[in-house]
Structure 1
């Protein structure tokens, strides 16, 4: 059984996204990237509250949602554990793409874009690539 996973939740109170959904989304991202694997323990509600100053019920709501989706399971007295991953076999081969994206992000920052600008641009490109022009 793995120790507590090295996942740290970052809460953006200005994002307009409910806090519990930020935890759900960040957990799913960690699962997709292979940062969390089956058997890993999520941080306890207390650990998340200490790190983020959010309400413990918010953490529990997020963990219940993840459990409902079949991604984690709570074990009384032991914690909440990952039961399955969202990563694909291709995720292990994404190093070249990650490097290109990191380089692009550095260039965008050097060009004066801030994080919100980059996020908006990236989201617009993703949307047009995956939703608007699927026949490409």
Structure 2
């Protein structure tokens, strides 16, 4: 797993790490038993404070997603993945095709993300009414 930190996002760095781990768990990139990068590895790759990495890992541990093993590292305890989100699932393939059409139409990453987020938000608002 390789972390990306967007210092301009306005989102706390530790929360960015937590979100990325959760996304990897949902997509099946990380599975139970997998070891997360050490704090040192994350610091070297992202140039963030080691305490920030540890705070993110503690949050993931608090949520029951990972567990530290002294001397061995931090390991995934449970997955968040669903078969419907697997790389070869029909839903994901449809979304990939839609994303390709959106890019062909001239939308960039931020446009696509905003459109998807707005659509998902509207869909969940409709479910609660």
Tell me by how many angstroms 1:125 deviates: 0.2
1:34 paired to 2:28: yes
Residue 91 of structure 1: CA displacement?
3.7
Per-residue deviation, 1:39: 0.7
| Superposition CA RMSD, Å | 1.8
> By how many angstroms is 1:90 displaced?
3.7
Q: For residues 49-64 of structure 1, what are the structure 2 equivalents within 5 Å? A: 49-64=43-58
Corresponding residue for residue 73 of structure 1: 67
TM-score of the superposition, structure 1-length normalised? 0.87
Deviates more, 1:9-18 or 1:21-30: 9-18
1:4 corresponding residue in structure 2: none
CA-CA distance at 1:94 after TM superposition: 5.8
Q: Give runs of ≥4 in structure 1 deviating > 3 Å.
A: 89-94
Structure 1 position 135, deviation (Å): 7.3
For structure 2, the 5+ residue unaligned runs are none
The offset of 1:88, in angstroms, is 2.7
Deviation at 1:103, TM superposition (A): 1.4
Normalised TM-score (structure 2): 0.91
Query: Which residue of the other structure, out of 116, 125, 134, is the alignment partner of 2:127?
Result: 134
Question: Structure 1: which 5+ residue stretches go unaligned?
Answer: 1-6
The Cα of 1:100 is off from its aligned counterpart by 1.3
Deviates most, 81-90 or 58-67: 81-90
- Once residues 70 and 62 of structure 2 are traced to their aligned partners in structure 1, the CA distance between those partners, rounded to angstroms, is 16
Distance of aligned partners of 1:96 and 1:11 in 2 relative to their CA distance in 1, 3 Å threshold: same
Q: What is the aligned counterpart of 2:15 among 21, 25, 36?
A: 21
